[in-house]
């Protein structure tokens, strides 16, 4: 019997939600930069995530938000991969809803956000971003990372520490994961969306939080923290 050659593991784009913040605990819509820092639990989550990686990323970047930079710093300490901040990766900006935690604010944001996943990308909260504006600032950054680091035989994983609502919208846009899965299955702190580049220039979603394909799990919308 001839041994089969070991196939190299293909490089992925790994989107990582930051660790827990006080805003997450209080369910505050905290989206402006720099934002709130990690809690002690958030620090522990970031450390555990970094130490639990099977292989270090080739590239480690984060949004400019404090919580993302701190999370990336703990991943850097665990893996030895230097972290860098890139512009444009911050969370969905909710405008006048920023700093609010009341049910009315959350219901308004969720109504707008669900609409984005159904194609209503021009909707926005008062003073906030539209879904199209969110995609227009994030997708070019990810496209640049793909072009620079996810092509060629020496490609390695690219890890991007960013934010829950933005990540889910990006995952839907890039890999075609469909609602209501994308709207009803939010990402816990330090959970990931893992995307594999395909030869036709697209992306295949390999992981969405605790789920792997096919992404058909039915879930009701929850009251859990949806963003940050």
The predicted structure's pLDDT at residue 4: 38
Give the CATH architecture of domain 13-34+56-208: 3-Layer(aba) Sandwich (3.40)
What is the spatial distance between Cα 37 and Cα 189, in angstroms, rounded to a whole number? Answer: 13
- The domains of the chain are located at 13-34+56-208
- Convert the pLDDT of each residue in 121-164 to its tens digit: 999 999 999 999 999 999 999 999 999 999 877 779 999 999 99
- Convert the pLDDT of each residue in 75-109 to its tens digit: 999 999 999 999 999 999 999 999 999 999 999 99
What is the spatial distance between Cα 143 and Cα 188, in angstroms, rounded to a whole number? Answer: 25
Pick from 154, 155, 163, 28: which is nearest to 90 by CA?
163
Predicted TM-score (pTM) of this structure: 0.92
């Amino acid at each position: 019997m001839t041994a089969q050659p070991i196939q190299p593991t293909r490089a992925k784009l790994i989107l990582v939600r930051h660790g827990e913040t006080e805003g997450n605990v209080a369910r505050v819509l905290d989206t402006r930069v720099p934002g709130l820092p990690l809690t002690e639990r958030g620090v522990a989550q970031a450390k555990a995530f970094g130490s639990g990686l099977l292989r270090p990323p080739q590239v480690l970047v984060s949004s400019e938000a404090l919580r993302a930079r701190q999370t990336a710093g703990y991943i850097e300490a665990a893996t030895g991969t230097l972290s860098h901040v890139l512009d444009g990766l911050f969370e969905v900006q909710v405008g006048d809803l920023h700093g609010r935690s009341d049910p009315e604010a959350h219901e308004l944001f969720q109504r707008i956000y669900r609409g984005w996943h159904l194609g209503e990308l021009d909707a926005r909260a008062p003073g906030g971003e539209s879904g199209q504006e969110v995609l227009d600032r994030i997708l070019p950054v990810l496209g640049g990372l793909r072009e620079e680091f996810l092509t060629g035989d020496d490609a390695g994983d690219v890890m991007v520490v960013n934010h829950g609502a933005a990540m889910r919208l990006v995952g839907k846009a890039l890999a075609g994961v469909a609602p209501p899965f994308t709207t009803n299955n939010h990402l816990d702190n330090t959970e990931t969306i893992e995307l594999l580049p395909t030869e036709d220039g697209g992306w295949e979603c390999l992981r969405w939080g605790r789920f792997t394909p096919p992404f058909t799990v039915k879930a009701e919308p929850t009251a859990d923290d949806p963003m940050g």
